[in-house]
Structure 1
Amino acid sequence: MRHFARLAAAIAVISATAGAAQAELIRCPLEQARRTITDPLPRGWWTTPIVNRLSDTRVQNIGGKPALLCIYGAAGSIQREAPRGQSCRAVSGGFDCRAAAPRARTAATGRLDIPQTYQFDLDRGAVTRSGADFWFQAETASLLYLVPQNGARIGVGDRSNRGAAGCATARYTGNRVSLRDLPVGSYICARTNEGRISQFRINGLSGGSPKTLSIGFMTWR
């Protein structure tokens, strides 16, 4: 019995070590940054540099790839590409990067044109009158909303293309969201009423009244 207890403890230590090896903390290389004019100046002229401490960290899509940004207020920012094969999130002073999860399988994908007052289902990719994930509510001709239905939830975030991994860790709410806050080109995360992770893009909103909302979506298993 004592032998098995020692073996279990050893396995636990190995597992913990392996998990820790998959995580990497990348810190911003500067505590403060200096920004100034470097052009030669005539005699009698000088410049006052701007010096700021690290004010924020952010993971942002640049050129189609995730980049790690260290921001120093008015002094500017520095950035680098995220490590290949890792998913990173911004933390105080740097970034917590971990081995990316396996690629998610697609359950449904496509485009939908949703007339106002109709609902749409992201599990199956359908426009319907009931039983779906979201309702395109028209409170008035100008007050338009997306309203989660039947337990579905919405995660607006920064409206960037976060994909399956990003949407899996997004913050969700069951509250309705005004389309005024979702301009064309916005990517929105969703958790469907069947528990799947989904993302849709606002492709367009027709003029006149009644309106039609056009989206492109992808839902993962």
Structure 2
Amino acid sequence: MMSFKSTLAMLSLAMTAAVAAPAAPAQAETITCPHSQIRREVTTGLPGGWWNTPIVNSLTEARVTNIGGRAALQCIYGPAGSIQRYAPDGATCRVRGRQFECSRGSASGAGARTFSTGPLEIPQTWTADLDRGAVGRGSGVDIWFQAETAELLYVAPRNGAQLGVGDRRNRGFDGCRAARYSANRVSLRDIPVGSYICAKTNEGRISQFRVNAVSGGSPKTLSLGYTTWQ
């Protein structure tokens, strides 16, 4: 018969092996734009003598964007327009060439996980918290929509947060983690609509936001779509 000490030793080894076992790898999925080329044309009936010339364009770019507060995969076809779908639930997607690589975290929780994401509508001179997705004042704000004049407008980091402008492309978590950061403010002239900017929040998280729009008139509202990772 097995002794009590031997049983304890075997249980101890089994527990050690269970703790030391490697975590399950992240589940990865490659999503491809469904068409290499699309055609855009007017389908509404036209009066006699009028016609439409269809626009046909090849795939020019793949992009991860934010639509309605959710990550979306967008395939761009130049003047012919774009098609899009939402990212798979619980997945973090990155652009790889003209495809999307979407992965879910491992069983141990390793890897990038979304902490918060959504749209931000920031009125001129207001601030925003990229950790909580909140607009307004407070000790946790990360960026300030600063206005020196009606024309000199900036995004300025606050409370120890930093910005990484880079090439203004969508870099995702890995790209933003490796980005070079600065505490200097950035002129809106240098980050036009469509620019992606990396940020390091005042709580130390990696974030990225896209400049979606700047309203006309004065004062203005800065529209961003952002994702902050755990």
Both proteins in one fold, TM over 0.5: yes
Q: 2:177 aligned with 1:168, yes or no? A: yes
1:182 to 191, 198, 203: 191
Match of 1:157 among 149, 157, 166: 166
Task: Indicate the residue corresponding to 1:210 in structure 2.
Answer: 219
Q: 1:63 to 1:216 in 2, by over 3 A?
A: closer
| Corresponding position of 1:192 | 201
Q: Give CA deviations for 1:196-217 in whole Å, capped at 9, x if unaligned.
A: 0000000000000000000000
Distance 1:177 1:130 in 2: 21
Alignment partners' CA distance in 2, 1:168 and 1:133: 17
Q: Give the structure 2 partner of residue 53 of structure 1.
A: none
Distance 1:212 1:173 in 2: 24
Alignment-derived partner of residue 114 in structure 1 = 122
What's the secondary structure of 2:176's corresponding residue? helix
Choose which of 104, 109, 118 in structure 1 pairs with 2:112.
104
SS at match of 1:213: strand
Distance in 1 between residues matched to 2:62 and 2:125, nearest whole Å = 37
Q: Quick one: distance in 2 between partners of 1:62 and 1:166?
A: 18
In structure 2, what is the equivalent of residue 201 of structure 1?
210
User: Aligned equivalents of 1:103 and 1:109: distance in 2?
Assistant: 17
Match of residue 144 from structure 1: 153
Aligned partner of residue 165 in structure 1, secondary structure: helix
CA-to-aligned-CA distance 1:116-156 (integer Å, 9 cap, x gap): 11000000000012320011100000000011100000000
**Whole-Å Cα distance in 1 between the matches of residues 228 and 62 of structure 2?**
24
Amino acid at match of 1:188: I
Compute the RMSD of aligned alpha carbons.
Answer: 2.1
> Residue by residue, what CA displacement relative to the aligned partner does 1:150-200 show, whole Å, maximum 9, x if unpaired?
000000000000000000000000000000001100000000000000000
* Matched AA of 1:66: R
**d(CA) in 1 for partners of 2:61 and 2:152?**
33
Tell me how far apart the structure 2 counterparts of residues 203 and 63 of structure 1 sit (CA, whole Å). Answer: 17
Distance 1:124 1:140 in 2: 29
Q: Secondary structure at the match of 1:117?
A: coil
- Normalised by the length of structure 1, the TM-score is 0.56
Looking at structure 1, the residues matched to 61 and 221 of structure 2 have their Cα atoms a distance apart, in angstroms, of 31
Which ranges of structure 1 fall in alignment gaps of 5 or more residues? 1-60, 68-80, 86-101
- What letter matches 2:136 in structure 1? T
- The count of residues paired between Structure 1 and Structure 2 equals 131
- Partner of 1:164: helix, strand, or coil? helix
Counterpart of 1:125? 133
* Distance apart, 1:109 and its partner CA: 0.3
1:66 paired residue number: 96
Q: Which amino acid aligns with 2:137?
A: R
Aligned-partner SS, 1:110: strand
Cα pair distance change 1:63/1:126, threshold 3 Å: closer
1:66 is displaced (CA, Å) by 3.2
TM-score w.r.t. the length of structure 2 is: 0.54
Instruction: Please list the CA deviations of residues 31-58 of structure 1 after superposition, one character each: whole Å capped at 9, or x if unmatched.
Output: xxxxxxxxxxxxxxxxxxxxxxxxxxxx
Whole-angstrom distance in 1 between the partners of 2:62 and 2:196: 17
